[in-house]
Chains A and B, each alone.
Chain A
Amino acid sequence: MKFGYSITKDRQIDFDRNDKRIADYVREHEPSFKTCISCGSCSATCSAANFTDFSFRKIQLLVRRGETNEVKEEIKKCMLCGKCYLACPRGVNTRNVIIQINQAIEKIERHDI
């Protein structure tokens, strides 16, 4: 039966059960990722964010929440230019974070992690 509306999918994130594989992989291979304070300086300076809704801050949030599929789509927009790294007040090695996230995704697809 159609009511002309649908029920929104549950957006609750259970931090005890979410997919921590990417986050753990990145934390291990690029520890500076832990120091991110989500200030958004990276988003402000991002070359890609100038044209689309991509930003490093968003990526790191998705990674921490364990939203692997969203990360996979979002990260394709990064040009790896490195402006975010220069703007980061915490010295997060953002370019390596992006590279490590991609490696983690590849490993997940190969069932290595």
Chain B
Amino acid sequence: MIFDPFVLPFTIGLLILICIVFYKFGGWIKKLSSEEKSKLKKGLFSKNLFKAIREVFYESLLHRKIFRVNPKLGYMHMSLAFGWFLLIVVGNIETRIHSGTKMNGPFYPIFFKFFEHHREAVPFNDFFVFIMDFLLLFVMTGVVLAIFKRVYSKFFGLKSTTKLKVGDKFALYSLWFIFPLRFMAESLSSAVFHTGGFFTGTTGNLLASFLPASEIYYYLWWAYSLALGMFFVSLPFSRYMHIPTEVLLIFLRNFGVNASKQFNSFSEIEVNACPRCGICIDKCQLNTSLDNKKVQPAYFLREVRFKQVKEETATDCLLCGRCEEYCPVGINLNNIRVAKRREFAVDYTDNYNYLPVEDVVKADVIYFAGCMTHLTPTIKHAMTKILDKAKVSYWFMDEDGSVCCGRPLMMSGKDKMAAALVENNKRKIQASGAKLFVTSCPICLKVFNEEYDLGIKVMHHSQYMLQLVKENRLKLKLSDKTIVYHDPCELGRGAGIYEEPRALLKRFNNVVPNEFEKENALCCGGSLGNTKLSHEQRNIIATEVVNQLTIDNPDLLATACPLCKKSFTYKSTVKVMDIAEIVAEAIPASSEMNVT
């Protein structure tokens, strides 16, 4: 077998890496529930396998999602991942063709240019020399960009880049060294043996003109092998563990394994799949508005991974979901955050026995305003007007003051207490015999949809009003007002309702677009998800958001969440209205004409 001592650091490093990764994977898979395990087994023999491979290709190699955030950042990641992958694949093909079926060490393709000096003997030599040089150049551009990014991240659209700890830095620097060292080693070897292509050959000759190539090239191969070995050994303990873990995550997801409420083995895999790329840091309003750079998922997940979660990191988060929306790995960040909050939460009661067992009214439709709507009474008055006009047979369930839906408790990790409220509300809803449940509060909406298991349709008032208009039960006056619609976090990213409120407003108004809309919508700062923010901090966020939304000076700033309305009202010079108020205002008096 072809061998030289310098291959040892690489080979040993690779062996250690493979052992640790398999050990970790094994541990995670073992801890999956039996249901999840059977999904994994079934998935391996289904067409989902090909879907998973396709996704691995698009996301782990091409990094499509990062391209969407910023093309330059996407190119950097793609050139490193896809370029390196192709170097390995093409290198292997090259050596396999050359050596026939002979068994080679794993190091043979990696250090091929050291071992093989008689390139004429290699089939398709010109092609391979060219393609390998081209790929090396491709990867090198990525390395140069990566180093540049550490110095000037703004170039990549990143205002802030992740602050790294020692382990990550060690891995990062060894990664930076790998390809320049390979490039130097190959260049100087090709100067000595005349084996290089357009890239390594040219540089080799140039370097040889002032360097004693034949004396130093051997040591460069040593250095290259050492850099590889160091990177491989540090990989499982650094953020680069995301490389193998993301592949596992993509496979599991495609086989139907999903995040559950509790922090489990799947969450552990998600945590390890975080590359700490830092895209979440820029999307987080606690950073952009309040300059808090400690709590973003990149840092939070690191704390989770190394089991050092601080209460502040778990709690100081708006749960707005912007990070989750842009996470290139697609980690369920809010889920993990809430799961970790449970570890700090104190469930101080499990019953609210003072809550009344009052009469339940039989009706087709239940209208539930929600606590926050009671603080913005114009919204509930608008809703009752609309429901009356449309002649809906409804029961205003919390007319005399609301029993909380339980979501604020859940967001704080107090699930047992929330369950007591859920039970109370659920009993009333089911006893009423209603077929439809309408709420004005997106925070409530999510919990009624996902936790109550009511068996009846749950709608946000914007959806229901659109339905009433479509069914011609509600007629509206046309208006030429320009409206910017603000997507509440809980309604948009939380429940995926982006189009219905717009469709409703567009029927009788002029809705204009804004940079921060739909998936990119900002949080109003009022979020119940965060218990740490002070009043002043919330005001800063709200003011910035209002300024962004009203930048084109619309006639109205519309929203569909009472809490957003409350946050914006005193910050905005433009009038802030809930979508229900706008609709209620557009209901014509019986004498008026010109209706849609």
Contact = CB atoms under 8 A, between A and B. Distances in A.
Name the residue among A80, A86, A105 with the largest chain B CB count within 10 angstroms: A80
A83 B531 contact: no
A81 B404 contact: yes
A80 B375 contact: no
B535 A99 contact: no
Given A79-B421, A96-B531, A102-B346, A47 B402 contact: yes
Interface stretch (B42-50, B76-84, B349-357, B428-436): B349-357
Nearest to A94: B531
A77 interface: yes
Contacts of B349: 76-77
Contact of A50 (B400, B532, B535, B536): B400
A51 B374 contact: no
A80 B535 contact: no
Given A32-B534, A99-B412, A83 B371 contact: yes
Given A51-B355, A105-B348, A80 B404 contact: yes
Interface in B388-405: 400-404
B252 interface: no
Nearest to A95: B531
A102 B536 contact: no
Interface string A17-40: 000000000000000100000000
Interface of B (DSSP majority class): loop
B182 to A, nearest CB: 54
B354 A83 contact: no
Contacts of A81: 371, 402, 404, 408
Given A91-B536, A102-B346, A77 B352 contact: yes
A69 B270 CA distance: 43
B535 A32 contact: yes
Contacts of A87: 375
A108 to B, nearest CB: 12
B566 interface: yes
Interface in A56-83: 75-77, 79-83
B372 interface: yes
Contacts of A76: 348-349
Nearest to B405: A81
A48 B404 CA distance: 9
Nearest to A87: B375
A102 B414 CA distance: 12
Going nearest first, the 4 A-B pairs with the smallest beta carbon separation are: A91-B535, A50-B401, A76-B349, A52-B354
17 contacts: A45-B374, A47-B371, A48-B352, A50-B400, A51-B355, A51-B403, A77-B352, A81-B371, A81-B402, A83-B372, A83-B374, A87-B375, A91-B535, A91-B536, A92-B535, A93-B535, A95-B412
Interface of A: 32, 45, 47-48, 50-52, 54, 75-77, 79-83, 86-88, 91-93, 95-96, 99, 102-103, 105-106
Interface of B: 346, 348-349, 352, 354-356, 371-372, 374-375, 400-404, 408-409, 412, 414, 417, 421, 526, 528, 531-536, 563, 566
